[in-house]
Structure formats: structure tokens, C-alpha cells
Structure 1
């Protein structure tokens, strides 16, 4: 048995191509299925089965399109009320994929109908656990709805224990979530691989013998998750449309100017340093980088279904279109160029200051406020003395709570503060971007409250 990991670091998830050298099973494919097809071609195998562990809450699946493209059987829990052709599968059912024996195991918790898959080949086993058993943790249990969180947390506790009992100790574990995804919960280890034996020894869901304590602690540590999650489940139940990853014909300067003047969302993909130094007035900063923060925060912050224009280099725009398609933001428009002068030379430019902690300490007047745009749980753990907390994902709806005049904006790493500074300036405010890691604040002499 060979397992190819297809990593989607922008969302903290993984998909898997599992094969016997001839035919393959794909587990939890992302929407941009060209990566999966390329992996199968590189391995010289034919995809005959595609399996979903659950109806995903954090991304739009590529499972349906991949099954149609390859002619594969599409394995989906028989209890899921999906609106497309598929091969229903139930707990305990076995499917042969060439020489691989694939067995479904009911593991409710992350969702009510969650399945894991135990794959066996020549005495070797691998467990594909989706959002059930993760490396050091488990999938979060509050995405179905607040009224069901306690029930699903109890179910998660029982499910992971059942799962380890149905696999060999040396079985390799391959979860979908847990690599930065907001679908994970608890103390995820950051490990790159694991086995069932390692999880039995170290995973808090398996080492905590007090179920009530586990449930209480997991629920207490659940934090905010992206609002776009609300749109993922319905899209996946309906059956996503094929994705178009082509870069559209770029807008001309006049049309880009009109959109800025109309207050539409023009998203500058350049580095936040370049944006602070000079940008089209009215644009907002979502630095593309490697996409790890870009996708989550753009989808979380900007109003769903509002028209978006991506502004940057062709390569940045092409990559951003791919990343956004994974969360159902399809066919954004594009403005191509290296900066404001190329994109819309007639539009006024704007800028704001970027500083580190030492500069903030030395230069901030005592009457100018500090705005912390981290999540509420991060703020509660430790924050700058006297700072105001408005989480980035709530900023557009709470802009009236942002102090007037000059405001010094920070977050955990500098990324969210850069987005927030651009939004505040767009709304008429005067931000100073504290582009520094919060973990360095104390060493720089910034007074903190724990």
C-alpha cells in the first residue's frame, strides 16, 4: 500500500491518494482536483474510488467532480441527504479497491454522520480519520449547531476509542484536519505523522479516562471559527459545480477606478510592507504570501457574495483564485500589475505607518489607543495594558467601536493587523500598523495584562 499526501496548507487540511500500484482510492479531495489527477498520473495508477469522511464544513469538496472525471465510485455515508449520484456506504461495510480492503467505521462527533476508513493490504493498515482522531487531538464538535455540541462531544469521545479498537496498533493514521485547520480542537501536536499506538498513548481524547472532564475541557477551549463555514455544508450537500481556475481578462484602469469609487472590494495581494508604503485609495490589504492566512481571513472578513477584484501580479492572482475556489469564492475579477501606477494611474494613493514594538513604545503618545484585533480568547490570555479588543473577523460590523483619531493596531503576527489597518483607513480612520509578533512584545518592554 502506498499513500500520497496532498497537502492544502492554506486551509490546514490534507487529501490522500491510496493505491496498490494499479488502482487507487482518494480520500477527502479538495476542489482543485488537478492536483489529485496529477498525483495519480505520477504514480501510474487509475482512480476507481473516491471517499468522503464527512460533509465538510471548512471547504468545498472536489469529490463529486473527481468521481465524474475519472468514472470512480463516489463513497458517501448513506445517511447523508446529498442531492447527487453516489455510492452509499454504511458502518462496517467493506469495499475492495484492487488489492486494498477498505472498511467504513462510523465515528460521529465532528459531524453526526462522520465515517473513518480502515484500509488493509498484505497485513499493513492505514486509518483515514477525517475530522475524528487527529494528531494529539480530535475534530471540533460545535460546527453542526450549538444545541448539539455537548452530544457530539460525547460521541467524539466514544468514536475515537472505538476507532483505535478496530485498527492495528501499528496502523498509520492519516487525518484530514489538524494541520492548522479551524476544524481541529484541543492541543494538536503539529506532528507530521503518527500511528494508532502513539495516539493511544498521548492523545488527550484517549488518555483522559474521565469522559465528563474531556467533554467539559474540549467545549471550554473551542474558539471562533470562520463565518464562511456556514456556506460549505449546503454547497457540499447540493454537489459543487466544476471549478474554473483561469485568470479572467484583467480590468482596465477606468473600470478599476470606477469600482474603487463605488466602494467595491479591491483586494491588494502584495506584501503588507508594500501596501503600507503606498496603495490605491480604497483598496484593502490581504497579503497573498503562501496563502495560509489569505484564504481564511478573506473568506471570514469580507461580506459573503460581494464582488471581489484581486489586484496583483498574474502569478499572485492565479494562486489566489485557486485558493479562494476551495471555499466557494468563484471567478473573482482581476487587476494585474506590480503596483498602483500600473493598475490605475489616475487614482489617488494612500499609505500609513508600520512600526515594531520598540517604535510603538518610543513614539506612541499616551492618549493614542492600542487596538488588538486577535480573537477574544487570545486577548483574554494576555494583552497590551489598556488595549481595546475588536477581533478582525468582527471589525466591519463593529467599526464604530474603533477609537477615533490615530489608533495603533496589532495582532499575533502582523498579518491580521495589516488587514485591519487597511479596513480602518478605508473607513476613514488613521491606523498605525504594529507589524510585529505578539510573542515579542514583553521582551520589548511592552506592559502586558495576563
Structure 2
């Protein structure tokens, strides 16, 4: 038997394919199911079951389409109200797939109806925990709604305790979330773990219930706005995925879309964007955090046009976007940015670092910190204005007049913020630097 990890690092999630004797089971697949199909083909295995631990809040599932495509049983928690046929997963139910047996355990907390799947195979035991027991933490409990959060937090404590109480210490723990996902209540730790290890590291197992609940609730921070749409899409049944290259947009049409206020996003590197970009476009460098922050700021359902160096970047971005249900990519432009300008002058802004900031800035300039409130509270540049990136579109008018020096923790969020302000004809300077350098320079208190 083999347990294969299908990692989606940009969202901090993992899906799994488990196979033995030519039979395969998939747990919590992402929407771009071609990766799953390719792995099953490589394993020469037929997928007989697709298992969901819960209705996901941070990505659009590929489970429904995958199950239909390969004619597999689609297993979804029994309590969830969905608009399609599924095999309802109830506590104690056993799913048999070839020589493999998966027992359903109801583990509420991340959602009300969340389940975990315990795999028993010969002498090996593994558990697929979704958003329940993560590596060194647990799934967040506030995604259903404020009225449910405290109840779900208590439930999460008992669910993790149930897993630890019913499973042997050598049971391998395979969560869906916790590898950078905002579905994790606090940062997870490590790539692998067992029930035995979790007894020493998981707060639900090292704290009493009152302390666990108090600490988890205090640690909850903002999460991406697009989460509000994921559960709705997943319960209704996502449409088949489209990963094709969008239509090409010529320079005149590109300018028309910008001038009418459409979302035109430049995927090039943050420094290339600063060196020259089309006025009115937004810079979202295509890197690890791209889809999280674009999804967080994006006006849901708005038509989207992408700019990139080459078609490969467009196709990669499209894959990332469909994972969170952003399907309205209406076109793309690739190549040299000068060729897209339709004769208009490109906009530029300076890129610098914290060393330059320590040397002094103009008296009328503002330092804008776009990190989250908790990061700012821990340490910040004295006098810096704090507007978290996800609030900047709504609060841009609060940025004081004059030149704006923008920073975050690494430069990525600051680069997006700089493009937002630049699109409003503000004079910006991007501090493309790690905040740890500000601390080392004595700039941060």
C-alpha cells in the first residue's frame, strides 16, 4: 500500500491518493484533478472512492468532477446539505476499497459535520484528519460564523482527544490543512507526524479544555475574503474545471479594460512591475502567495485580464485561480510590456530596502506597514501607519498625502499595496526587504 501526497503549497493544503492492488482512494482533491488522474495512471490504479473530510472553505473541490469522471463513489459527510448525490459518511461507517478499509469518525470543530477517515491495512494505521488534528495545531473554528465559533472550538478539542484516545501512537496523521493554509488556527509544524508525537505537541492534547479554547480564540486572525464563497460553491457542486489559455487581448482593448475599471493584473516580478507597467494595472507577482492575496482582494465575479511575460505564466496563474473559483479570466496579454502600452507612457516607482529607510526619508513622507494587526502589534517602525493589505482597497484614502514608503514582512504584500496606490496616482516607494532586517537595523520597536 502507498500513500501519495498531492501538495498544493500555494494554498497550504494536501490531497492524498492511497492505492493498493490496483485500487485507489482519493482524499480531499483540489479542483485541478489532472494531477490526481496522472498519479493514478502512474500507479496503474483505478479510483473507486473519493472521500471528503468536510465542505471546504479555502478551495473549490475537485471531488465531484473526479468521481463522475472515473465513476467512483463520492463520499461526503452525512450532515452536510449538498445539491448532488453522494454516499453519506456517518460515524462508524466503514468504506471498503479493495484490501483497504476506511472507518469514518465524526470529528466536528472545523465544521459541524467534519469527519476523519481511519485507514486500517494489515498492521498499518493512518488517519486522514482534514481540518481537525493538524501537525502541532488544529483547524480554525470560526469559518462557519461567529455564533458557532465557541461551540465548534469546544467540539474541536473533544474531536482531537477522540482521535488520540481511539488510535495507537504509531498511527500516521495526514491532515489536509496546516502547511500554510489560513484554515489552520495557528501555524503548523513539520511535514509528518503520528498520534504519539501529537500527544506532546498538539494544544488540544497538552492543554485543558478551558485553556485550549481561550488560546485558540485569542489566536484567530483575519482570513481571505474569498473563503465566503468556497463553501457555497462546494455545496452546490462546482462546474467542470477549465484550464485552457484565455483569449489574447490587444493593446487597445487592454487600455479600454483598464480605463473602464476592470481588473487587469500584471503577473510579472515585483521589480519588473516597478520598473515599468501600464497605468491602472495591479501587480500580483506570480509566486507562492499569489492566489491567496489576489483572491483576498479581488472583487468577486469581476472580469479579470492577466498580463505576463509569457503564456506559461498565464496558464500557471489560471490553474491557481480556478482552485479558488475565480473562473472569469476574460483574456491575457504576453510579451514585452512596452508593446502593450498602445503609445502611453509606462508608470514606474522606486524599489529600496530598510537600509535606505534607516538613512532617512523626506519629512512629508509616510511609512505604510501593510502587515496584519497582530504583526504590527508585535513589532513595527515607530510612526508607521498600519493598514493591513486586505483592507487597503477600502481604506486607501486614509493614507496621508505625500510620498509613501510601503513595507510588509517580506516585500510581497508591500508590492501589491504599492501597485494599488500607484494606480491611484500616488507616489510610492516599495521597500522590497524582510522585516527582520528592520529589526536588526534598530528601526523596529
- Correspondent of 1:294 among 290, 294, 305: 290
CA drift at 1:363: 4.2
SS at match of 2:85: coil
8 Å Cα contact 2:366/2:405 also seen in 1: yes
1:143 corresponds in structure 2 to 143
In 2, distance between residues paired with 1:272 and 1:131? 33
Residue 324 of structure 2 corresponds to residue 355 of structure 1: no
2:196 corresponds in structure 1 to 197
8 Å Cα contact 2:107/2:113 also seen in 1: yes
CA drift at 1:56: 0.3
Q: How does 1:146-185 map to 2 (within 5 A)?
A: 146-185=146-185
SS at match of 2:230: helix
In 2, distance between residues paired with 1:270 and 1:129? 37
Give the stretch that moved more between structures: 33-42 or 262-271. Answer: 262-271
Alpha-carbon displacement from aligned partner over 1:293-329 (angstroms, at most 9, x marks no partner): 1000000012111111010020110000000000000
1:281 corresponds in structure 2 to 279
SS at match of 1:48: strand
8 Å Cα contact 1:317/1:334 also seen in 2: no
- Correspondent of 1:431 among 421, 425, 428: 428
8 Å Cα contact 1:244/1:331 also seen in 2: no
In 2, distance between residues paired with 1:335 and 1:419? 19
What stretches of structure 1 of length at least 5 have no aligned partner?
Answer: none
SS at match of 1:163: helix
8 Å Cα contact 2:302/2:328 also seen in 1: no
Q: How does 1:320-359 map to 2 (within 5 A)?
A: 320-359=317-356
In 2, distance between residues paired with 1:248 and 1:202? 46
SS at match of 2:200: helix
In 2, distance between residues paired with 1:201 and 1:374? 32
CA drift at 1:88: 1.1
In 2, distance between residues paired with 1:359 and 1:24? 56
In 2, distance between residues paired with 1:77 and 1:421? 43
Instruction: Give the TM-score normalised by structure 2.
Output: 0.98
CA drift at 1:187: 4.3
In 2, distance between residues paired with 1:238 and 1:412? 37
In 2, distance between residues paired with 1:159 and 1:281? 52
SS at match of 1:14: strand
2:234 corresponds in structure 1 to 236
Q: How many residues align?
A: 444
1:46 corresponds in structure 2 to 46
8 Å Cα contact 1:48/1:73 also seen in 2: yes
Alpha-carbon displacement from aligned partner over 1:132-161 (angstroms, at most 9, x marks no partner): 000000000010111111111000000001
8 Å Cα contact 2:252/2:342 also seen in 1: no
In 1, distance between residues paired with 2:71 and 2:151? 38
SS at match of 1:110: coil
Alpha-carbon displacement from aligned partner over 1:194-222 (angstroms, at most 9, x marks no partner): 111111122121111x2111100110010
- Correspondent of 2:409 among 391, 400, 412: 412
SS at match of 1:419: helix
2:95 corresponds in structure 1 to 95
In 1, distance between residues paired with 2:299 and 2:328? 16
C-alpha spacing 1:81/1:257, structure 2 compared with 1 (3 Å): same
Q: CA RMSD in A?
A: 1.1
CA drift at 1:331: 3.9
1:391 corresponds in structure 2 to 388
Residue 23 of structure 2 corresponds to residue 23 of structure 1: yes
In 1, distance between residues paired with 2:298 and 2:76? 32
CA drift at 1:442: 1.7
2:223 corresponds in structure 1 to 225
Residue 410 of structure 2 corresponds to residue 379 of structure 1: no
In 2, distance between residues paired with 1:121 and 1:346? 66
What stretches of structure 2 of length at least 5 have no aligned partner?
Answer: none
8 Å Cα contact 2:364/2:402 also seen in 1: no
Instruction: Give the TM-score normalised by structure 1.
Output: 0.97
Alpha-carbon displacement from aligned partner over 1:243-274 (angstroms, at most 9, x marks no partner): 10001221112111111222221100000000
CA drift at 1:380: 1.1
2:300 corresponds in structure 1 to 304
Alpha-carbon displacement from aligned partner over 1:76-95 (angstroms, at most 9, x marks no partner): 11111000011112001001
In 1, distance between residues paired with 2:374 and 2:12? 20
In 2, distance between residues paired with 1:207 and 1:154? 15
Alpha-carbon displacement from aligned partner over 1:399-421 (angstroms, at most 9, x marks no partner): 11111110111001000000000
Alpha-carbon displacement from aligned partner over 1:330-377 (angstroms, at most 9, x marks no partner): 041333323321323423210001100011222412431110001111
CA drift at 1:445: 3.2
1:251 corresponds in structure 2 to 249
